[in-house]
Homo-oligomer: A and B are copies of this chain.
């Protein structure tokens, strides 16, 4: 399953003339298999033992390459570190404001919003970003206990 995703991703890169280096392979692999939304530093730390000489710059460089080829989406959070998400199917994120956990959820799509926005503003629309914020069940429970 994730084998397939990796293979497709590598193919995409190959056809756009991007070299597949061991580092790139490893970063992509990690993004897919970790099933999480790691920061550049998370990725760096996770691969440090396999690539003792790898530079943080390499991680950032390649995440940019992946973003530009559409394989990876960058989730930005102001002064805090960006998180990177391997693009699979259309999904959105719900984020716990207490512990920072990010959980995926699917939603049919917001084409209608895009159309309306395009119509009202005259923009040519490319994409959108939607995030829901709240409290995850674990944190909600903790809070409830604290208040007892």
Contacts and interface: CB of A to CB of B under 8 A. Distances in A.
Nearest to A125: B134
10 contacts: A76-B76, A92-B113, A105-B117, A105-B120, A105-B121, A113-B132, A114-B132, A124-B134, A124-B135, A129-B130
A82 to B, nearest CB: 5
A125 B116 contact: no
Q: How large is the interface on A (under 10, 10 to 19, 20 to 34, 35 or more residues)?
A: 35 or more
Interface in A52-83: 74, 76-79, 82
Interface string A75-104: 011110010000000001010110000010
Copy number in the complex reads 2
B107 A123 contact: no
B105 A126 contact: no
